[in-house]
Amino acid sequence: MKTVYKKPECIGNKKPNSYCPGCMHSIVVRLVAEVLEELNVVNSSVMFAGVGCDGNGAFGYLDIDTVISPHGRALAVASAYKRCNPENVVFTYQGDGDLIAIGCAETMHAANRGENVTVIFVNNAQYGMTGGQMAPTTLAGMKTTTTPYGRDPKADGAPMHVCEILDTLDNPTFLARGTCTDPKNIIQTKKYIKQAFQNQLEGKGFSLGEIVSACPSNWGLSPLKSIDFINEKMLPEYPLGIVRDR
Amino acid sequence: MEKVFMKGCEAVAEAAMRAGCRYYAGYPITPQNQVPEYISRKMPKLGGVFMQGESEVASINMIYGAAVGGTRSMITSSSCGLSLMSETIGWLISAELPVVIANFQRGGPGIGDIGPTQQDYFQATKAHSNGGGRMLVMSPGSLQEAIDAVFEAFEKANKYRTPVYIQLDGISGGMMESVMMPDAISDEEVAALKQKAKEEWAVGKMEGRERREIVGGADSGLPLQTLNQKLEAKYLEMEKNEVKYENYLMEDAEYVITAYGIGSRFARAAVNILREEGYKVGMIRPINIYPFPFEAYDAIDYSKVKGILSTEMSIPAQFIHDVQIAVKGRAPVYNYSTSGGVILDAVEIANHAREMMK
């Protein structure tokens, strides 16, 4: 019998992931694990996770050295670590609340310094772990537990486009947005993630892969309906593709 | 060892690098800007890393990032800057990371002003952060002590795997004194320190060992109560081993002036003035303010001592609370304090002492 697919060896050895059914975090973590194995850097990688579903779910699931950062600060933590330990492969794993709400300053400045790190940014348009509150990426009109009448862009702000905002800076190297709604997009997203790591190995600088993701539990939709929501609502706001590749 | 005439900020910066500090992050704030300025000139030549963070919040998190990899790291700031770092200081305590933090105190509450004070006593000794974590807190009274404290702080940070806090002030940062500057530890020793950390607890290359996780809180294998019991055992160990104070002319004292850090210099001068007038006055000076030297106050002969004057540069007075706890009502405790950049004055302290002795 021929093996056509197997689970990466560096996930799920100690404990299962703690993500909800239909959550795309588990796919993203698996893609990261595959890329680390393909690049042969599992043993030299350090993950700097944020606080939220990003940190909690991945904690102990991905079998590599892991540092949880104070909420929003992963890129400040990772920047210093990488400067002191350039031989290690360093990546942050952050959600939208972590990366562009509370961590906006740290994200902007790490990108502006062109830190040679990889950022895996999972955008599910709300705060997952705390129960579905509004995030900077919440769509206009989208109901969350703190925008019960729908997000009003005039009062609550409009959705923030991380790749496009960082594209205004001189120093980032690679900014791309994928999703995990179907095999084609999963394969494409993996290519982005791989390039974001490959750039670091080549010393090219700040590389960010954004993944538009589903949160069925807080969206109040089934996993399948969540995929429809991404295709119909999220992707028109957050178009897929490479925003910058230098 | 060489004798040099240096400004406080620069002396602390130089001492840190000689003690093996190879990572510094900070954000500009008066009155300690000469620390990052000095380190930014020199650190790259040592093969270390200097980073100016975009805020105090980012800077202390950069320190966290350097520390998790075992690099000897220091951060300095002043008062409100330390308030901004508060959350991550709790993480450093909880994650048991050996870093050195120095506070050149200015005014408060709020932005206060840039004048020198001792207004952060509670912040330093009682509540750096949420959750009740503690750090060893040193409070040097001279630049020589400050330099020696920097070396000692890195050693104790390593010994206890904890952040160590050096409580300085705007006067100490700006004044110049002659000091004996210890020799630098060698590059080999610096590398060995990092290697040891990598072997024992830091993250990094993981061939041949289990994965590690570092978090400022409970982790997947350690429930929070167990972690806090472990941290408490460390605090108790520090309370046993790290009590440090000075008795000055206490043998025959009938009255005591007590002060710490920069305030003790004026208190010492006041004791000298009063001794010349024939008053039997001594001084107790805590050198580490956590753990507080309760034993120094227990050793007072209360059949002889009729009053204690506590003096500090903080209104409301804060240090006096620990003094009162230490004295346990065995003698009356009086206060004389200043604030807002008004520097304690030996003549004024002596005046208040004479009032006490009437």
B92-106 pLDDT, tens digit each: 999 999 999 999 999
Quick one: CA dihedral B38, B90, A17, A218, positive or negative?
Answer: negative
Q: Are B205 and B29 in contact (CB under 8 A)?
A: no
Q: How far is CA A21 from the centre of its chain?
A: 18
Quick one: CA dihedral A25, A30, A34, A37, positive or negative?
Answer: positive
Render each residue's pLDDT in chain A as its tens digit; 246 residues. 899 989 999 997 777 888 999 999 999 999 999 999 999 999 999 999 999 888 776 677 888 999 999 999 999 999 999 999 999 999 999 999 999 999 999 999 999 999 999 999 999 999 999 999 999 999 999 999 999 999 999 999 999 999 999 999 999 999 999 999 999 999 999 999 999 999 999 999 999 999 999 999 999 999 999 999 999 999 999 999 999 999
At residue A55, the pLDDT reads 79
Residues of A in contact with B64 (CB under 8 A): 69-70, 73, 77, 80
B111-169 pLDDT, tens digit each: 999 999 999 999 999 999 999 999 999 999 999 999 999 999 999 999 999 999 999 99
Quick one: CA dihedral B197, B199, B205, B211, positive or negative?
Answer: negative
Listed in sequence order, the DSSP H helices in B161-223 are: 170-174, 187-200
Q: Which helix (H) or strand (E) holds A78?
A: helix A74-84
DSSP state of A232: I
Domain boundaries, chain A: 25-245
CATH for B2-198+228-241 is 3.40.50.970
Tokens coding B126: 């009682």
Q: Which residues contact A88 (CB under 8 A, 6 or more apart)?
A: A44, A45, A46, A81, A82, B69, B204, B205
Count of A-B CB contacts under 8 Å: 117
Strands B49-52 and B245-248: unpaired
Residues of B in contact with A46 (CB under 8 A): 203-204
- Smallest CA-to-CA distance from B143 within B108, B111, B171 is with B171
- Indicate the residue type of B114: I
Query: Is the confidence at residue B55, as pLDDT, over 70?
Result: yes
Across the interface, do A73 and B55 touch by the CB < 8 Å criterion? no
- Smallest CA-to-CA distance from A209 within A230, A179, A233, A171 is with A179
- Report d(CA A138, CA B145) in Å as an integer: 54
What's the whole-number average pLDDT of chain B? 97
Sheet strands (E) in chain A:
45-49, 65-68, 89-95, 118-123, 126-127, 133-134, 174-179, 207-212, 241-245
Q: Give the residue on B whose Cα is nearest the Cα of A59.
A: B220
Average pLDDT over residues B35-45: 98
Across the interface, do B220 and A68 touch by the CB < 8 Å criterion? no
At residue B56, the pLDDT reads 98
Q: What are phi and psi of B199, to 5 degrees?
A: -70, -40
DSSP for A132-150 reads SEE-TTPPTT--BTTBTT-
Best mutation target, B46, B63, B64, B75, to test chain A (most A CBs within 10 A): B64
At residue A13, the pLDDT reads 78
ipTM over 0.85: yes
Residue B303, CA distances (Å) to B73, B253, B254, B306, B331 in order? 48, 11, 9, 8, 9
Q: Are B16 and B39 in contact (CB under 8 A)?
A: yes
Please classify residue B246 by burial: count the beta carbons closer than 10 Å to its beta carbon, then call 0-12 exposed, 13-18 middle and 19+ buried.
Answer: middle
Which residues make beta-bridge pairs with B100?
A: B74, B164
Query: Is the confidence at residue B5, as pLDDT, over 90?
Result: yes
Q: How many CA atoms lie within 13 A of B254 on its CB side?
A: 9
B198-218 pLDDT, tens digit each: 999 999 987 889 899 999 998
At residue A70, the pLDDT reads 97
Across the interface, do A68 and B213 touch by the CB < 8 Å criterion? yes
Domain boundaries, chain B: 2-198+228-241, 245-357
- Smallest CA-to-CA distance from B250 within B276, B283, B285, B292 is with B283
At residue A56, the pLDDT reads 72
At residue B205, the pLDDT reads 82
At residue B198, the pLDDT reads 96
Question: To the nearest whole angstrom, how far is the Cα of A25 from the nearest Cα of chain B?
Answer: 19
Residues of B in contact with A76 (CB under 8 A): 53, 57-59, 61-62, 65
Question: To the nearest whole angstrom, how far is the Cα of A109 from the nearest Cα of chain B?
Answer: 7
| Angle (deg, nearest 10), helices B56-68 and A104-113 | 70
Q: Which residues contact A38 (CB under 8 A, 6 or more apart)?
A: A194
- Smallest CA-to-CA distance from A74 within A45, A47, A114 is with A47
At residue B284, the pLDDT reads 98
Across the interface, do A76 and B219 touch by the CB < 8 Å criterion? no
Q: Give the residue on B whose Cα is nearest the Cα of A74.
A: B61
At residue B207, the pLDDT reads 83
| Angle (deg, nearest 10), helices B86-94 and B224-241 | 90
Which residues make beta-bridge pairs with B75?
A: B101
Across the interface, do A66 and B213 touch by the CB < 8 Å criterion? yes
Task: Say which CATH class B245-357 falls into.
Answer: alpha beta
Q: What percent of chain B clears pLDDT 70, i.e. is strictly above it?
A: 100
Q: How many CB atoms lie within 10 A of CB B83?
A: 16
Please classify residue B80 by burial: count the beta carbons closer than 10 Å to its beta carbon, then call 0-12 exposed, 13-18 middle and 19+ buried.
Answer: middle
Please classify residue B44 by burial: count the beta carbons closer than 10 Å to its beta carbon, then call 0-12 exposed, 13-18 middle and 19+ buried.
Answer: exposed
Residue B275, CA distances (Å) to B190, B246, B252, B272, B330 in order? 48, 18, 11, 5, 24
CATH for A25-245 is 3.40.50.970
Across the interface, do B64 and A70 touch by the CB < 8 Å criterion? yes
Q: Do domains B2-198+228-241 and B245-357 have the same CATH topology?
A: yes
At residue B26, the pLDDT reads 97
Task: Point out the residue among B54, B91, B219 whose CB comes nearest to the CB of A70.
Answer: B91
Strands B307-312 and B333-337: parallel
Task: Point out the residue among B69, B205, B207 whose CB comes nearest to the CB of A84.
Answer: B69
At residue A57, the pLDDT reads 66
- Report d(CA A230, CA A228) in Å as an integer: 5
